[in-house]
Amino acid sequence: MANSSDILFYGLLFFIWFATTTFFRYVLKQRKNGSKQIRHPPSPPSLPIIGHLHLLGSVASKSYQTLANQYGPLIRLRVVSSSVVVVSNAAIAKEFLKNNEMNFVSRPQFGAADFNIYAGSEFVNAEYGPYWRFMKKLCMTELLSVTQVNRFVDIRRQEMMKLLKILVGFSEERKACDLGVELMTTTNNVISRMAMSTRCTPGLDEGRRLWEFVKEIFELSPKFALGELFGPIGKLDLFGYGKRVKALLSKFDSLVEKIMVEHENELNSSNKERKDMMDILLEIHGDKKAEVKLSRTDIKSFLMELFMAGTETVSVALTWTLAELINHPKVFRQLRDEINTVVGSKRLVQEFDVPKLLYLQAVVKESLRLHAPAPLMFRRCGEDCKINGYDILANERIAFNVFAIMRDPSSWDNPLEFQPERFMVGSKVAYDDYQMDLKGQNFNVFPFGSGRRGCPGASLSLAVVHSAVALLVQCFDFTVHGGEKIKMEEGSGLSAGLAHPLMCYVTPHLNPLELLHLS
């Protein structure tokens, strides 16, 4: 067995080998690029081997924003053997995503495929091609279409009512509540029930276990992707994240396989009134004439990606919106007045009220502007091209810093202020620009991305966020311990949630339980 000095010796040897090869590869690449006279976007001064690693903090979008302020809205960063071009203003984002859309329609791969049991079945990071096109069309016309989202309105209602009851419980016990956790549970339940008719309640084990696997995979993913920085050495999985991701994926897979078999038995035995996403996917799996043959692995991979893309983002959007409302009592009161005028105090607000609640829509847009739940959006360059006079090379990764763009002082007055009024009719800025439907046509505010690759979950997200915010404001007052303000600090996760738990006390304004039977 090797003793500790052996391990130290081999470790050192390994480090020297790694450092020298990376350094020489870097020098060779520089020379090769130099001979072709490539004009990369500007870069901050870098250190040998680690490149710009020392300039990056724990919240990538914020570090990129700081660097953009110093070196410009189009920069190129390198960390060890991996590079990324970072875009930090709306005009340049439009140049990539609209004027050259087809060249930036694929996404880069992160992490070694060896540890991903779903490698080859991915949708979110799939190459632009027949499989992605088929799945995207399926999302837009069936799985996440407005019609399908509307079909599940009662499920959202039931989950919202459960949330209200839980909050009444907290208020009766006069206990502080972690609002972020409750909002996360509600979001997970809505998505799990739409996806495969499971819930994440402690009593119902399946839903909760699914949620825990997805949460752990979500938390591990950025660490796993770090292997990337070490080039081919990343495959060795020195920190063991790859093996952990693989083990979690296998557990997720077994659980979803079990739910899938239950769905198949149900589909064979009866005519289900309402099909969830798994039912729809299984029908396509069994359809011999389907345009694309969907395997069981494709279905499981797709459902996992939906959970990853959908649950954290929606609950993060909800948590930030509530935090802003608690910190801005005037906005909170104005929103409650609007709900009172449109809905009254004799029934609970419903989803069909939302089109008339313009201030509510403005509050949610402003919150998405200030707190992008997906702060960095990644694409991959298809072929060498020039953007803004700089060469962007094939396969180069592009990070759109949505966080920085939506706070850019050259596009927004008082960009760091929470001012929903900017999205109301008669605001100083052009109505058309601000009232657009967050569809990615206005590159000053595109929290759901843009174009073919834009988020297919936007309608579902807005349905959940609007109704939850409206119900909470209609029914409760929220206070923070000692009357303090909530610290609006971003955490370091993929979806940039609040760094600290949103702990608050709730007091009923209207008693939701009394209004429930009237609604």
Q: Residues interacting with ligand HEM, by CB under 6 A?
A: 124, 136, 144, 191, 305-306, 309-310, 313-314, 317, 373-374, 377, 447-450, 453-457, 460-461
Q: How far is CA 476 from CA 144, 173, 188, 343, 421, in A?
A: 31, 15, 22, 16, 23
DSSP, collapsed to helix, strand or coil, labels residue 53 as helix
User: Between 458-475 and 153-173, two packed helices, what is the crossing angle to 10 degrees?
Assistant: 30
Nearer to ligand HEM, 191 or 502 (CB): 191
The residue whose two tokens read 């999302």 is: 139
Give yes or no for a contact between 210 and 198, defined as CB atoms under 8 angstroms apart: yes
Nearer to ligand HEM, 71 or 104 (CB): 104
Q: Which residues are annotated as a binding site for heme?
A: 455
Task: Show the beta-strand stretches assigned E in 237-355.
Answer: none
Nearer to ligand HEM, 445 or 460 (CB): 460
Q: How far is the CB of 74 from ligand HEM (least distance, A)?
A: 18
Give yes or no for a contact between 443 and 91, defined as CB atoms under 8 angstroms apart: yes
Q: How far is the CB of 135 from ligand HEM (least distance, A)?
A: 8
Q: How far is the CB of 450 from ligand HEM (least distance, A)?
A: 5
Q: How far is the CB of 113 from ligand HEM (least distance, A)?
A: 18
DSSP, collapsed to helix, strand or coil, labels residue 417 as coil
Q: Which residues are annotated as a binding site?
A: 455
For residue 202, count other CB atoms closer than 10 A to its CB. 8
Nearer to ligand HEM, 234 or 456 (CB): 456
Nearer to ligand HEM, 167 or 303 (CB): 303
Strand order in the sheet with 74-79: 74-79, 82-87, 397-401, 376-380
Nearer to ligand HEM, 155 or 343 (CB): 155
Q: How far is the CB of 147 from ligand HEM (least distance, A)?
A: 15
Q: Which of 463, 470, 460, 462 is nearest to 347 (CA)?
A: 470
Whole-angstrom Cα distance, residue 515 to residue 341? 17
Q: How far is the CB of 368 from ligand HEM (least distance, A)?
A: 6
> What number of CA atoms fall less than 13 Å from residue 94's CA on the CB side?
8
